[in-house]
Structure 1
């Protein structure tokens, strides 16, 4: 009977160690899954932050391009105005030159 009790204790110990090992394995899987989900969530958050930054840069670039085109149009107008002013100045010089020549 003592041998049967020792065998029963040995079998019970083996079964309980298998059960505890399985429980530890399951807890490890849950923790690993939780850690994996946490790191995946952090990665997705970082990607979202980067995407928002890129979108913001695109908006700023579009605004800058729009301001650039407006400035180009203004410069064209100023150049045309300066050209007309030079023509008027040349005409005035010619008139002043003619008037000065006829008075002498």
Structure 2
């Protein structure tokens, strides 16, 4: 399957979570749900993952993660553009 990236919008991402934008807003911004997790998840944890830039296209996604019991926050730490891939899952947990 081949998909074309779409701009990230609150409406387009609504079924996966919320999109917050703090561009141009001065001050501290609390993200209450950043460490939200259910009892199945155990305890809140922060993991910072650094990825290399994509150097060839088409970009082939070979692995997806699921976080059914906890929140996941994605931040572009360098201010650069980034690609976020999200999809629904079937009853057996496989991506749709």
Question: For this structure pair, what is the TM-score category when the shorter chain's length is used for normalisation?
Answer: under 0.3
Return the structure number with greater helix share: 1
TM-score of the superposed pair, with normalisation by structure 1: 0.14
Higher Rg: 1
